[in-house]
Amino acid sequence: MPTKFQNFINGKWVNARSGKTFENRNPANWDEVVGLFPLSDTADVEAAVKAAREAFDSWRLVPAPKRGDILRKVGDLMTERKEELAKLMTREMGKVLLETLGDVQEGIDTAYYAAAEGRRLFGHTVPSELPSKFNMAMRMPIGVAGIITPWNFPMAIPTWKIFPALVCGNTVVFKPASDTPATATKLVEILAEAGVPAGVINIVHGGGGKVGMAIVEHPDVDLVSFTGSSSVGKRISEAAGKTLKRVSLELGGKNAQVVMEDANLELALEGVLWGAFGTTGQRCTATSRLIVHERVYDKFMAIVVEGTKKLRLGDGLKKTSDVGPLVNEAQRETVDSYVKIGLGEGAKLLTGGKAATSGALKKGWFYEPTILADVKPSMRVAREEIFGPVLSVLKVRSITEAIEVSNGTPYGLSSSVYTQNIGYAYQAIRDIRAGITYINSPTIGAEAHMPFGGVKETGNGHREGGWTVYEFFSEWKTVYVDYSGKLQRAQIDTNKA
């Protein structure tokens, strides 16, 4: 019998009120059921929000350094269980073990960073314009945070959101992706074991329509942090606006790696193979476009195709696998449909272009790493997020044209330029419209202590990671202390009063 998992509400593991469940299966072997999970609805959300609201009054009074101490214990527990967590993650979402180990490590790094931030929730003191008066601004908790996360980084992304929310003194109602509920459950188990009090962290499994939107629309949820598609992000923003919730949206990307005529081509090759086909292309920061200077185009594309053909598809738990499956059948169909769209628009298929269904791959949702050449900036495969192992290649004549092409999508998350020319590098840093720019490294590889996020339809301006996320999960309170013993009127012309 498959393992049965539960929701965690007010410190207790409970079934969905309806008693319904859904299956979580291994995308490398669809016959394997990883577990059964609660198919929750609004009643379960209501219970979780009620618990979080009641727990907030006491949790906000716990000193921030003490809240940080709990997250330090979380980091210790995650470190002890790193391989166990990584193997579970590979089984439920497919990426190779090397990458899932990295996913867990990012969560560990975020835990230790958050623990330290408990002692660094800095405010400001500034001089008053009046005598015998003290002015300061301090950071305060907001309330109940709704956390809605995707399946591609089922440990790292929840920790980016949950840990800062908790350190800042908020309580949490967490809805993970239905494709990766097991990793999320293990994270909540660790949080509870580390000492997070009942009601402070709650997890409700289920679909986005019933559970996710119920969290967004609930009047007792004060802020929402969501990572996912731009189309869903727009719906969340609209719904949350009705109650004036604070909302952080980290959405899609159509990231480009630029290779200039003076680039180290071997280094650029390593970058594009990792950026385009790592996580099977299922990253918001994946290298979805390759923009190559015409002087090195033929030479570089020859080695890119050769390198791509050497990548080995397979179960992510096997050391021989370089690229795992797509997360589910629908995602594979989406990827295949985009390849057909690209070919219909006039792109040229250099390698890949079809599902891999033979031998050991027949029970999983595998797709060959694919390269489309002769792509024009106006084509859909150059503008729309595919979220799979498909690389669209464009040719340019200058750094100015490369930047223009890089900017020519509705998104603006990550970007990359390979060059030895410092002028090219700094022109790209200045002019590329993206939240992240890498020089001589791929579009993937964000570090936990740095801001993460993008511009345009990639989000609504907030950043995750680093010190910036703590701004989202707290609000400023201005305090004036007048010890003069008399009424002093600020912003009054005392000479005429």
> Please, are residues 194 and 69 in contact by the beta-carbon 8 Å criterion?
no
Cβ neighbours of 382 (radius 10 Å): 24
> Please, are residues 364 and 325 in contact by the beta-carbon 8 Å criterion?
yes
Question: What is the rounded CA–CA span in Å between residue 198 and residue 163?
Answer: 16
- At residue 356, φ and ψ (nearest 5 deg) are -105, 115
- At residue 468, φ and ψ (nearest 5 deg) are -70, -30
Half-sphere exposure of 494 (CA within 13 A, CB side): 7
Q: Who's near 283: CB < 8 A, 6+ residues apart?
A: 152, 153, 444
Q: 256: left (phi > 0), else alpha (psi -120 to 50), else beta?
A: beta
Pick the catalytic residue: 99, 117, 250, 385?
250
Reply yes or no on whether 250 is catalytic. yes
Q: Who's near 266: CB < 8 A, 6+ residues apart?
A: 303
Half-sphere exposure of 101 (CA within 13 A, CB side): 8
Question: What is the rounded CA–CA span in Å between residue 360 and residue 366?
Answer: 10
Q: Which two tokens stand for residue 400?
A: 């100015």
Reply yes or no on whether 284 is catalytic. yes
Pick the catalytic residue: 92, 117, 284, 368?
284
Question: What is the rounded CA–CA span in Å between residue 314 and residue 417?
Answer: 30
Residues with a catalytic annotation lie at: 250, 284
